Structure formats: C-alpha cells, structure tokens
Amino acid sequence: MQTEEEILKIKKVKNTAVRTVVLRHLLSQEKAQSLKDIENALAYTDRSSIFRTLKKFEENKVIHSIEDGSGMTKYAVCAKGCNCDPKDLHYHFYCTNCDKTFCLFDVPIPKIQLPENFKLQQANMVVKGLCDNCNK
Amino acid sequence: MQTEEEILKIKKVKNTAVRTVVLRHLLSQEKAQSLKDIENALAYTDRSSIFRTLKKFEENKVIHSIEDGSGMTKYAVCAKGCNCDPKDLHYHFYCTNCDKTFCLFDVPIPKIQLPENFKLQQANMVVKGLCDNCNK
DNA sequence: TAATCTTTGCAATCGAGTTGCAGTAAATCC
DNA sequence: GGATTTACTGCAACTCGATTGCAAAGATTA
Ligand SMILES: [Mn+2]
Ligand SMILES: [Mn+2]
Ligand SMILES: [Zn+2]
Ligand SMILES: [Zn+2]
C-alpha cells in the first residue's frame, strides 16, 4: 500500500495538511465517502476546503466519484495505476439496506456494444441491492 | 403504441389532467426529461404537481428515473411490459456534448456476477460519451 | 346531499453543492 | 535574505434542484 505522500506525488498533487488528512480518511474507509461523511469525520476541517480538495483529487485521478442515487456524490480512491479510462471502469454496489456504496473492482465489466458511431468516454455503473451483510 | 389513458389504466394510476399531459409530454420526447424540462414544456402546470406526478408514475412503474450525473434526475417512460425488475435493466447513454440522455433498450446488459451472497435489486447504468450526432 | 378522500397550486423550506473574498502559507524571483 | 507572485484555506453567503405544508378545488363514496 502506498502512503498518502506517495500517491499525491505520483498524481502530481501538491501535498498539504488538508489533502493529506482527506486522502488518509478516504484510504481508511471501505465504503465510498460523501462530502458530508468526510466533514463529519474531520471535525476541524472546513467543508469548502474538503470540497475543493475532492475536486482537485478527481481532476488528478486520485479519486473518482460515484453517483449512487442517494442524493450525495460519493468518492473512492482510484486503484493503483488507474487512469479513469474506460478500461478502469468497474461496477459500484449500493446497498439499499445499510446505505453503503463501494467499488466492485473484482467484477469484470463486459465490453459495451454501443450503437453505430457512438463514442464511449466514461460511465457510472451502480448496481443496487443487498450486500452480503444485509442479505440474511 | 398505447395511449396515455391505456398506460395509466394498466399501471393503475388514476387519470387526471396533469397526469395525462405529463405522460403525453414524456412520450413525445426521445430524450429523458428532467423536472425542469417538463416544467418548461408545460407552462401552465405547477412544478410541484409535476413533481408529485413523477413520483406517482415512478411508484407505479409508468416511468423510471435516471441519475445521469448532470445534477438533475431524468425520467423516461418504461417500455411496454416493463416491471422495473432486474430483467428490465438497460443502459442509459448520456452525451457529454449535447446533454441528451436516453435509454439504450437495444443494448443487452450482460448478467452481472455479484460477489457471494449479494442480491441484485436494481441498477443505474449510465454510459457517457458522444452520441452519433455529436461524434463527428 | 353530506362526508371523505385525492389532487392541485402556491409559497416556503431543505440541503448538497458551489463561490467570493480576504487572510495565510508556500513557491518564485530578484 | 526580502519582495513578489501564486496557491491554499476558512468563513459566510449563495445557488438551485428537490421536497413539503397547507388550503382550495375536484372527485368519489355513503
Ligand atoms: Mn469505484
Ligand atoms: Mn431507461
Ligand atoms: Zn448492506
Ligand atoms: Zn450528443
């Protein structure tokens, strides 16, 4: 596992106190985090600073965002080597019971056969249902 | 093609003036519509009435909603026989150039192999890129 | 008809996201 | 080093899509 400093260096994001703590928090969580989640976890860091940090991170491919339909955008750290290309596409799972959203890095995404002359750039694939913990 | 009245009858939604005109509008558009789109198109119908109509429609599977990442939820009429089950799943395409979102009813969705003991209920699959019109 | 339930329009509110601005810190240039 | 420029941060204010309370209007039922 890389340290926060290493990740930021690779992704060419200048290291600051806020950025380190935000990235550390994201790395420590198994579920994707909303701005509010992060704000709650980092009591002394301002929301707009976190917000701008997330924007910067997303721009530089440190993290990617997920629209899971909960009304709050979620963020998750990109896998090592990820470039947010179509090849890095993966499903996200949203548990309708416990509200947890996370990346399904291990579930392969089949090639999508778009109609004639369409060009794929990115995708937001959210699968919803019950996670193993809630499906009992 | 079924009429608005027929659709509402089948889906057990009582027919009213607002509902008819909202459904008619949705049927007339090839791209999925946001609340604002509908509000703009139906100048004399109140937003909250349209909003509640959409909620009712969604509840009764007249329409389904799409989170395309644009910040506004889009709505599209369900295909005939659709029950919004996993079997009715389909991709949605969002054109990053012209901002159009629509259902890709013809692109098959492969079976998603979820991790052990996960249960699939629904999904929001949005593919983003350039539509044929914009990919030139 | 009278009582009851549903739908509608209007105004107010909510809340996630975003921005302006001034102060602080860091990087760059003499 | 010290001056200048550039980047980051915190606070408050604001935007805007979504949602709700409420009373009037309409439809249904007894
Ligand atoms: Mn992910
Ligand atoms: Mn659709
Ligand atoms: Zn769960
Ligand atoms: Zn287009």
Say yes or no to pLDDT of A120 above 90.
yes
Confidence of residue B1 (pLDDT cuts 50, 70, 90): confident
Strand D protein footprint, C-beta under 7 A = A 14, 16-19, 44-49, 52-53, 56, 71; B 14, 16, 34-36, 47-48, 51-52, 55, 71-73
Domain around A39: 4-129
pLDDT given for residue B28 in this prediction:
97
B134 found inside a domain: no
Query: Could you report the per-residue pLDDT of B69-89, keeping only the tens digit for each?
Result: 999 999 999 999 999 999 999
Tokens of B109: 């969705």
The stretch B9-36 carries a mean pLDDT of: 97
CATH number for the domain spanning B112: value is 1.10.10.10
Put simply, the answer to whether A121 touches B69 (Cβ < 8 Å) is: no
Interface residues for strand C (CB within 7 Å) are A 14, 16, 34-36, 47-48, 51-52, 55, 71-73; B 14, 16-19, 44-49, 52-53, 56, 71
* pLDDT the model gives residue A11: 96
Helix/strand/coil percentages in chain A, nearest 5: 30, 25, 45
Does B123 reach chain A within 8 Å, measured CB to CB?
yes
> CA–C1' distance A46–D5 (Å)?
26
Tell me whether A110 touches chain B (CB under 8 Å): yes
Q: Is residue A20 part of a domain?
A: yes
Tell me the pLDDT tens digit for each residue of B32-73.
999 999 999 999 999 999 999 999 999 999 999 999 999 999
What is the per-residue pLDDT across A59-101, written as a single tens digit (0 to 9) for each? 999 999 999 999 999 999 999 999 999 999 999 999 999 999 9
**What average pLDDT does this structure show over A106-115?**
92
Distance A33 CA to C9 C1' (A): 39
Residue B123 included in any domain: yes
Among B86, B44, B25, B122, which Cα is nearest to A69's? B122
Q: Are B42 and B50 in contact (CB under 8 A)?
A: yes
Mean pLDDT of chain A: 96
Question: Does residue B136 have a pLDDT over 90?
Answer: no
Chain segment A35-62, per-residue pLDDT in tens = 999 999 999 999 999 999 999 999 999 9
Neighbouring residues of the ion ligand 2, judged by CB less than 5 Å: B 76, 103
Across the interface, whether the CB atoms of A114 and B129 are under 8 A apart is answered yes
Q: What pLDDT, on a 0 to 100 scale, did the predictor assign at position B103? A: 97
Contacts of residue B46, Cβ cutoff 8 Å, sequence gap at least 6: none
Half-sphere exposure of B25 (CA within 13 A, CB side): 22
The terminus-to-terminus CA distance of chain B in angstroms comes to 33
Percent of chain A with pLDDT over 90: 95
Q: Residue B39 has what pLDDT?
A: 98
pLDDT category, A136, cuts 50, 70, 90?
confident
Look at residue B135 and tell me if it is in a domain. no
In a domain, A134, yes or no: no
Of A112, A118, A125, the CB nearest to B131: A118
Residue B104 located in a structural domain: yes
Query: Is residue A136 a part of any domain in this protein?
Result: no
User: Based on the structure, what is the number of domains in chain B?
Assistant: 1
- Of A76 and A108, more confident: A76
Helix (H, G, I), strand (E, B) or coil at B13: coil
Task: Select from B85, B116, B127 the residue whose CB has the most chain A CBs within 10 Å, as the one to mutate to test that interface.
Answer: B127
Do A119 and B130 lie within an 8 Å CB cutoff? yes
Note whether residue B96 is domain-resident: yes
**Six-digit token string for B56:** 């009712």
CA A128 – CA A99 distance, rounded (Å): 10
